[in-house]
């Protein structure tokens, strides 16, 4: 991944605006006016032959005329003039350009070509570019905007949240909506068509940037899944949450994304899985993003999922309990000691069980609220506290809010507040809390989901730290098995599996009938006989498979039948022999396991129970490969049909620990394969009774070729 010093772009000493204008409200005017409004301390130049100066800054006919060097250039001209502007930048040895102009890749093939030409120019001359089709970058901390959105109209709240958006409008909506809620930001970086610098470059910058603690990003496509993986792991190690909204999860949305920022959005299912694996906080709406930012701004970490709530209305208590339960929280009944403590202050007529329902009592004894919060902060029984505060400014809501702030300072336990009621009476209370870094929401759903963001993030943090460390230790020899091969036979796939310690049936390939004798000495009947050929895809179709062969005579018979079938199908010259293998006679469950190359995220491992479970019920589990044994076990436990492996009722218990170990081994094959492979499918991988292990009965590798994708290998029809 490119790693330019983005700091310099965002903090230039000198800037020029090509296409500067004196027309108020125009793009070329706002862009330069932003330096006045921001009190920019560096040098600013306009470039436009019509003016001598604009907004108090000197203006030159061309970039070349500027007497000094220029760090960053804003290009605010029509798309057909951009190429010339880049040439001027090259001549001036400019390092960074920000290209506002639209009319490139988002406009189809012709625009894409134009964009590629400009990109090549930049790359050849060491220029890093933002855009095109972008509103530019905001360094809010230092009030430096390389953007045509007016700084003068923004009410900036300073903070430690950095934003990366592919879409400018979304960046503006997010910042303005969130700052109205007293959430502070330091950067707003929009990547537009991300011809050169992508959203991932910006995210990476924010992960490294010391004063950024939370990263929120809107993307349409992931430029490189592996890079996102690296960045995510780094962010997790630094305990910096990344909140990600990826648009284009539907077909209709994908169509729209292509015409917006020319993004190919990738598979939504894979992204969802990847986000979860990588500890990203995955949201679907701007509102959810704001909610998640609020949650993380609290900087408190839940130790577990035990939550207590204090409510002023019984109905709210029920609805809140419903929502929290739905999100996997444990609304534990409080111990009698804690309940007594809660009752201490006032003899409650209400319930202290959990929800702690203090009802109208609050109005007669204002101390009660704080007492409840303090009690719940002190007890070891709960990991998080969710408070209901439906009390507006006119009824003393700010006083209660101050109490929450005070108590929160004494604890590491997350406290989340739900402030319901008419916006005019409750908004100020909510914003007061947010200003003091207490996550506060105007709906039960938002509040409960915020708690869930925190919980999920902490769980990912704990889990992934281990995984990250494990993975760095794993290094495998590379297999050149696929180098130069045109296709892969079943014995070759099985050899590969065996090299990775994945059990395959005992067997051998007999090219002639007289070779059977020798090979058989190690095998037990019954055996299976399967034709081996680089060119025959569907072996059963040509009578190339015989199963359940009970003795040597029958095997010889089977060999002859297979060979004569090949002859009558006119393929006998392409036959490499017959694979003879022991058959598995134990009770077994059949699994389908595959690794495929996702165009965005690389190798992905999938597993499910064979047959209708995968095909009809779509009961599958996926992860980014490689995975550890522990992760493999989690994958299996996610399957709805997991009880069929673990032993339902009095049924067979299968060898789940060997299966998990094997899944982990399979997941590592991808790292070691070289060549044009698309997918490795093991179908079936049979799981034997506990203690007896697993076995790959058949393997198929799909290769990609120039003329599309060819499936080769075998399918074991039984």
Q: What span, in angstroms and rounded, lies between the C-alpha atoms of 320 and 311?
A: 9
Element (H, E) at 168: helix 168-180
Residue nearer to a copy of itself on the CB measure, 285 or 513: 285
Q: Which residues pair with 417 in a beta bridge?
A: 387, 440
List b or e across 350-368, with b for residues whose CB sees 16 or more CB atoms inside 10 angstroms: bbbbbbbbbeebbeeeeeb
Residue closer to a copy of itself by CB (options 277, 309) is 309
**Cα(195)–Cα(190) distance, rounded to whole angstroms?**
12
Question: Considering beta carbons, is residue 109 or 252 the nearer one to a copy of itself?
Answer: 252
Q: Output 179 or 464, the one with its CB closest to a copy of itself.
A: 179
Shortest gap between Cβ of 642 and a copy of itself (angstroms)? 8
The order of strands in the sheet holding 507-510 is 507-510, 575-582, 527-533, 545-549
Tokens of 443: 């709906």
Nearest residue to 205 via CA among 122, 128, 282: 128
For a copy of itself, the closer of residues 519 and 647 by Cβ is 647
The nearer residue to a copy of itself, 145 or 172, going by C-beta atoms, is 172
Rounded Cα–Cα distance for residues 506 and 521 (Å): 11
Least distance in angstroms from the C-beta of 121 to a copy of itself: 24
Q: Which is nearer to a copy of itself, 264 or 571 (CB)?
A: 264
Q: Smaller CB distance to a copy of itself: residue 165 or 532?
A: 165
Q: Which helix (H) or strand (E) holds 592?
A: strand 589-598
CB of 512 to a copy of itself, least distance (A): 36
Q: Give the neighbor-by-neighbor strand order of the sheet with 440-441.
A: 356-357, 307-311, 384-388, 415-418, 440-441
- Give the DSSP letter string of 3-55: ---HHHHHS-SEEEEET---STTSHHHHHHHHHHHTT--SEEEEE-TT-SEET
| DSSP-assigned letters across all residues of 111-140 | HHHHHHHHHHHHHHTT-EEE-SS--EEEET
- Exposed, middle or buried: residue 297 (CB in 10 Å: 0-12, 13-18, 19+)? buried
Work out how close the CB of 690 gets to a copy of itself at its nearest, in angstroms, rounded to a whole number.
19
Q: How far is the CB of 329 from a copy of itself (least distance, A)?
A: 9
The Cα–Cα gap between 665 and 496 comes to 12
User: Considering beta carbons, is residue 40 or 369 the nearer one to a copy of itself?
Assistant: 369
Distance CA 389, CA 386 (A): 10
Closest CA to 658 of 506, 494, 501: 501
Q: For residues 454 and 386, what is the distance between their CA atoms, to the nearest angstrom?
A: 13
Considering the complex, what minimum distance in angstroms separates the CB of residue 645 from a copy of itself?
Answer: 11
Q: H-helix or E-strand containing 254?
A: helix 251-261
Closest CB to a copy of itself among residues 101, 467 = 101
Distance between CA atoms of 527 and 549, rounded to whole angstroms?
A: 5
Provide, rounded to whole angstroms, the least separation between the CB of residue 485 and a copy of itself: 31
Q: CB-side exposure of 609: number of CA atoms within 13 Å?
A: 20
CB closer to a copy of itself, 306 vs 500: 306
CB of 410 to a copy of itself, least distance (A): 27
Q: Based on CB atoms, which residue is closest to a copy of itself, 84 or 284?
A: 284
Helix (H) or strand (E) holding 173: helix 168-180
The rounded distance, in Å, linking the Cα atoms of 397 and 428 is: 9
Q: Which is nearer to a copy of itself, 253 or 366 (CB)?
A: 253
Pick from 408, 316, 298, 331: nearest CA to 362: 316
Q: Which is nearer to a copy of itself, 479 or 640 (CB)?
A: 640
- Nearer Cβ to a copy of itself, position 80 or 424? 424
Q: Are 98 and 134 in contact (CB under 8 A)?
A: yes
CB of 56 to a copy of itself, least distance (A): 27
d(CA 348, CA 470): 53
Cβ neighbours of 625 (radius 10 Å)? 24
Q: Name the minimum Å distance from CB 291 to a copy of itself.
A: 11
684 touches 592 (CB < 8 A): yes
Least Cβ distance, residue 283 to a copy of itself (angstroms): 11
| Contact between 235 and 208 (Cβ < 8 Å) | no
Distance in Å, CB of 160 to a copy of itself, minimum: 21
Tell me how far, at minimum, the Cβ of 271 lies from a copy of itself, in Å: 12
The CA–CA distances, whole Å, from 637 to 353, 535, 607 equal 33, 39, 11
Q: What are the percentages of helix, strand and coil residues in the chain, rounded to 5?
A: 40, 20, 35
Least distance between a copy of itself and beta carbon 660 (Å)? 20
Nearer to a copy of itself, 285 or 340 (CB): 285
Closest CA to 114 of 126, 100, 96, 132: 132
**How many degrees, rounded to 5, is the angle at CA 230 between CA 229 and CA 234?**
115
Judged by beta carbon, residue 319 or residue 429, the one nearer a copy of itself is 319
> Residue 401 CB, nearest distance to a copy of itself (Å)?
18
Q: Min. distance of Cβ 648 from a copy of itself in angstroms?
A: 6
Nearest distance in Å: CB 373, a copy of itself = 19
Rounded CA gap, 241 and 593, in Å?
Answer: 32
């Amino acid at each position: 991944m490119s790693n330019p010093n983005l700091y310099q772009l965002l903090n230039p000493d000198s800037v020029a605006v090509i296409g500067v204008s004196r027309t108020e409200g125009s793009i070329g005017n706002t862009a330069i006016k932003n330096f006045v409004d921001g009190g920019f301390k560096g040098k600013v130049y306009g470039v436009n032959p019509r003016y001598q100066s604009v907004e108090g800054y000197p203006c030159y006919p061309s970039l070349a005329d500027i007497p000094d060097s220029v760090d960053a250039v804003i290009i605010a001209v029509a798309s057909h003039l951009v190429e010339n502007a880049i040439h001027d930048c090259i001549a001036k040895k400019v390092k960074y350009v920000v290209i506002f102009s639209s009319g490139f890749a988002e406009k189809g093939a012709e625009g894409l070509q134009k964009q590629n030409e400009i990109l090549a120019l930049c790359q050849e001359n060491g220029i890093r570019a933002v855009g095109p089709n972008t509103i530019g970058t905001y360094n809010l901390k230092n009030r430096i905007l390389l953007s045509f959105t007016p700084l003068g109209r923004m009410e900036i709240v300073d903070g430690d949240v950095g934003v990366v958006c592919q879409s400018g409008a979304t960046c503006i909506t997010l910042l303005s909506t969130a700052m109205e809620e007293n959430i502070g930001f330091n950067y707003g970086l929009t990547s537009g068509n991300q011809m050169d610098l992508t959203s991932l470059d910006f995210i990476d910058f924010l992960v490294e940037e010391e004063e950024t603690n939370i990263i929120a990003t809107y993307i349409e496509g992931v430029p490189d899944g592996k890079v996102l993986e690296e960045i995510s792991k780094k962010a997790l190690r630094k305990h910096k949450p990344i909140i990600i909204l990826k648009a284009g999860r539907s077909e209709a949305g994908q169509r729209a994304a292509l015409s917006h920022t020319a993004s190919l959005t990738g598979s939504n299912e894979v992204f969802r899985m990847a986000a979860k694996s990588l500890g990203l906080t995955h949201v679907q709406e701007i509102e959810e993003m704001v909610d998640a930012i609020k949650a993380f701004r609290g900087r408190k970490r839940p130790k577990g999922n035990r939550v207590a709530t204090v409510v002023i209305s019984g109905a709210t208590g029920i609805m809140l309990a419903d929502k929290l339960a739905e999100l996997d929280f444990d609304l534990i009944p409080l111990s009698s000691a804690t309940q007594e403590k809660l009752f201490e202050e006032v003899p409650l007529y209400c319930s202290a069980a959990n929800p702690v329902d203090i009802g109208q009592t609050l109005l007669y004894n204002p101390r009660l609220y704080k007492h409840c919060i303090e009690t719940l902060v002190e007890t070891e029984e709960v990991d998080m506290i969710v408070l209901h505060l439906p009390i507006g400014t006119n009824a003393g809501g700010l006083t209660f809010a101050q109490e929450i702030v005070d108590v929160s300072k004494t604890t590491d336990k997350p406290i989340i507040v739900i402030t319901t009621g008419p916006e005019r009476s409750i908004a100020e209370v909510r914003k007061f809390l947010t200003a003091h870094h207490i996550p506060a929401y105007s709906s039960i759903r938002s509040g409960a989901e915020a708690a869930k963001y925190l919980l999920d993030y902490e769980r990912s943090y704990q889990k992934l730290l281990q995984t990250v460390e494990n993975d760095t230790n794993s290094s495998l020899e590379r297999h050149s098995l696929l180098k130069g091969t045109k296709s892969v036979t079943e014995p070759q796939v099985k050899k590969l599996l065996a090299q990775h310690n994945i059990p395959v049936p005992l067997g051998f390939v007999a090219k002639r009938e007289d070779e059977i004798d020798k090979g058989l000495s190690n095998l037990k009947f019954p055996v299976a006989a399967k034709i081996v050929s680089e060119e025959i895809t569907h072996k059963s179709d040509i009578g190339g498979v015989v199963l359940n062969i009970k003795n040597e005579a029958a095997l010889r018979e089977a060999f002859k039948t297979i060979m004569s079938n090949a002859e009558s199908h006119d393929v006998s010259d392409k036959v490499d022999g017959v694979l003879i293998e022991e058959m598995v006679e134990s009770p077994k469950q059949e699994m389908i396991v595959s690794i495929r190359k996702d165009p965005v995220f690389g190798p992905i491992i999938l597993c499910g129970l064979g047959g209708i479970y995968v095909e009809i019920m779509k009961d599958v589990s996926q992860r980014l490969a490689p995975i550890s044994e522990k992760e493999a076990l989690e994958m299996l436990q996610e399957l709805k049909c997991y009880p069929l492996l673990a032993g339902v009722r009095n049924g067979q218990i299968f060898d789940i620990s060997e299966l998990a170990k094997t899944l982990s081994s399979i997941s590592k094959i991808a790292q070691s394969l070289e060549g044009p492979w698309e997918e490795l499918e093991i179908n079936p991988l049979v799981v034997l009774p506990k203690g007896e292990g697993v076995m790959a009965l058949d393997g198929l590798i799909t290769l990609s070729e120039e003329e599309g994708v060819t499936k080769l290998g075998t399918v074991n029809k039984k």
